[in-house]
Structure 1
Amino acid sequence: MIDGMVDYARFILHGIHSGYEDKACQILAECEKQSEKDDTKYILITPTRNWGFVNPLKLADLSKSRTFIAEPTVQRLLNTIWSDGLKKEGKIYEQSTESSWCCKPFEKVRRFFSPEKRFYLKVIFYVAFLGYFSWIMVSDKITSSAPSAAEVFLIFWVFTFIMEEIRQALPQPFDFFGERHQMSGQKLRTNLWDQFKLYIKNVWNYIDMAMLSFFVIGEMARSDPNTARILLAFSLVLFYLRFLRILTVIKSIGPKVLMIFKTLNDFKTMVLILLIVLIGYGTAVHAVLYPHVSDPLEVAHGIFFRPLFQIYGNLFLEDLTATETSGMCTNNMTEMHTGYKQACPQNVAWGVVFLVMYMILSNVLLLNIFIAMFSIACENIHREAEIHWASQRFHITEEYYNRPRLPPPFIIITHISRLISWISSLCRKDKKIRKQGKKDMKRIKMEERCAYNYIRRKQLEQVENSSKKADQ
Structure 2
Amino acid sequence: MYNPTRPEGWMQASFILFLLFFSYYMLFAFDPPSDGIPSIHWTEVVVIIIISTMLIEDIRQFICQDNLFIGGKIHNYFLASRFFNIMSVAAYILFYVGLILRFQNAYDQDSFSAARIALAYDLEIWFICSLKFIGVAQKLGPKLVMIRKMIIDLFFFTYIILIAMSAYGIASRAMHFYGTFDFDGRAIFRNIIYPVYYFMYGSFDDERQLLDADGYNNSTAIATQVLLAFHMLFVNILLINLLIAMFSYTFQQVQDHTDLVWRYERYTLIREYFDRPTLFPPFIIISHIYELIKYIYRRLPTNRQQSFGRKSEAKTFKMIAANKSVEKDWTDFESYATNVYARSLLTSQPTTAIVPSTTNSQEAAGDIQTSMMTDFKQLNEDVTSMKKAVIDLRAHAEEVSTCMKWMMEAMSRVKMSKDPPPPLKLSVTTTDLRSDT
1:395-447 deviations in Å (ceiling 9; x for gaps): 11110111010110111111111111111111222443159xxxxxxxx9987
Identify the match of residue 271 of structure 1 among 158, 169, 190.
158
Which residue identity lines up with residue 233 of structure 1 in the other structure?
Answer: A
> Normalising to structure 2: TM-score of the pair?
0.64
Q: Which residue does the alignment assign to 2:323?
A: none
Q: Which residue does the alignment assign to 1:152?
A: 45
Q: Does 1:213 align with 2:86?
A: no
Q: Does 1:140 align with 2:29?
A: yes
Equivalent-residue separation in structure 2 for 1:199 and 1:377 (angstroms): 24
1:201-260 deviations in Å (ceiling 9; x for gaps): 222111111111111111111123222111111111011000111111111111111111
Q: Does 1:411 align with 2:290?
A: no
Equivalent-residue separation in structure 2 for 1:242 and 1:165 (angstroms): 14
Equivalent-residue separation in structure 1 for 2:236 and 2:201 (angstroms): 9
Residues 294 and 426 (structure 1 numbering): CA distance in 2 closer, same or farther, change over 3 Å?
same
Which residue identity lines up with residue 115 of structure 1 in the other structure?
Answer: P
CA deviation after TM superposition for structure 1 residue 381, in Å: 0.6
Equivalent-residue separation in structure 2 for 1:362 and 1:143 (angstroms): 45
Identify the match of residue 319 of structure 1 among 200, 210, 228.
210
Q: Which residue does the alignment assign to 2:78?
A: 200
1:342-382 deviations in Å (ceiling 9; x for gaps): xxx86222221111111111111110111011001110011
Which residue identity lines up with residue 50 of structure 2 in the other structure?
Answer: W
Q: Which residue does the alignment assign to 1:254?
A: 141
Residues 199 and 309 (structure 1 numbering): CA distance in 2 closer, same or farther, change over 3 Å?
same
Equivalent-residue separation in structure 1 for 2:95 and 2:55 (angstroms): 11
Equivalent-residue separation in structure 1 for 2:153 and 2:70 (angstroms): 33
Q: Which residue does the alignment assign to 1:62?
A: none
Instruction: Considering Cα pairs closer than 8 Å and 6+ residues apart, tell me whether 1 or 2 has the greater RCO.
Output: 1
Q: Which consecutive residues of structure 1, in runs of 5 or more, have no partner in the other structure?
A: 1-83, 86-113, 176-187, 325-344, 436-443, 462-472
Equivalent-residue separation in structure 1 for 2:152 and 2:228 (angstroms): 29
Q: Which residue does the alignment assign to 1:392?
A: 265
Equivalent-residue separation in structure 2 for 1:281 and 1:386 (angstroms): 45
CA RMSD of aligned residues (A): 3.1
CA deviation after TM superposition for structure 1 residue 287, in Å: 1.7
Matches within 5 A, 1:94-113: none
Equivalent-residue separation in structure 2 for 1:379 and 1:322 (angstroms): 47
Which residue identity lines up with residue 117 of structure 2 in the other structure?
Answer: I
CA deviation after TM superposition for structure 1 residue 132, in Å: 1.0
Q: Does 1:130 align with 2:19?
A: yes
Q: Which residue does the alignment assign to 2:131?
A: 244
Residues 149 and 294 (structure 1 numbering): CA distance in 2 closer, same or farther, change over 3 Å?
closer
Equivalent-residue separation in structure 1 for 2:160 and 2:232 (angstroms): 15
Verify the 8 A CA contact 2:25 2:44 in the aligned structure 1: yes
Matches within 5 A, 1:271-310: 271-293=158-180, 295-297=182-184, 298-310=187-199
Q: Which consecutive residues of structure 2, in runs of 5 or more, have no partner in the other structure?
A: 106-110, 315-333, 355-437
Residues 164 and 279 (structure 1 numbering): CA distance in 2 closer, same or farther, change over 3 Å?
same
Equivalent-residue separation in structure 1 for 2:286 and 2:176 (angstroms): 66
Which residue identity lines up with residue 75 of structure 2 in the other structure?
Answer: K
Identify the match of residue 351 of structure 1 among 219, 224, 235.
224
CA deviation after TM superposition for structure 1 residue 197, in Å: 3.1
Which residue identity lines up with residue 318 of structure 1 in the other structure?
Answer: Q
Verify the 8 A CA contact 2:168 2:231 in the aligned structure 1: yes
Larger Rg: 2
Q: Which residue does the alignment assign to 1:424?
A: 297
Equivalent-residue separation in structure 1 for 2:132 and 2:338 (angstroms): 40
Verify the 8 A CA contact 1:122 1:407 in the aligned structure 2: yes
Equivalent-residue separation in structure 1 for 2:91 and 2:220 (angstroms): 48
Q: Which residue does the alignment assign to 2:61?
A: 168
Matches within 5 A, 1:353-392: 353-392=226-265
SS in 2 for 1:413: helix
CA deviation after TM superposition for structure 1 residue 323, in Å: 5.1
Verify the 8 A CA contact 1:248 1:255 in the aligned structure 2: yes
Residues 452 and 346 (structure 1 numbering): CA distance in 2 closer, same or farther, change over 3 Å?
closer
Verify the 8 A CA contact 1:123 1:246 in the aligned structure 2: yes
Equivalent-residue separation in structure 1 for 2:143 and 2:335 (angstroms): 42
Equivalent-residue separation in structure 2 for 1:370 and 1:288 (angstroms): 30
Residues 451 and 355 (structure 1 numbering): CA distance in 2 closer, same or farther, change over 3 Å?
closer
Verify the 8 A CA contact 1:211 1:238 in the aligned structure 2: yes
Equivalent-residue separation in structure 2 for 1:225 and 1:294 (angstroms): 29
* Total equivalences in the alignment: 308
Equivalent-residue separation in structure 2 for 1:271 and 1:211 (angstroms): 23
Verify the 8 A CA contact 2:99 2:115 in the aligned structure 1: yes
Equivalent-residue separation in structure 1 for 2:64 and 2:225 (angstroms): 61
> Normalising to structure 1: TM-score of the pair?
0.60
Equivalent-residue separation in structure 2 for 1:401 and 1:351 (angstroms): 61
Equivalent-residue separation in structure 2 for 1:458 and 1:207 (angstroms): 42
Which residue identity lines up with residue 91 of structure 2 in the other structure?
Answer: M
Equivalent-residue separation in structure 2 for 1:421 and 1:289 (angstroms): 72
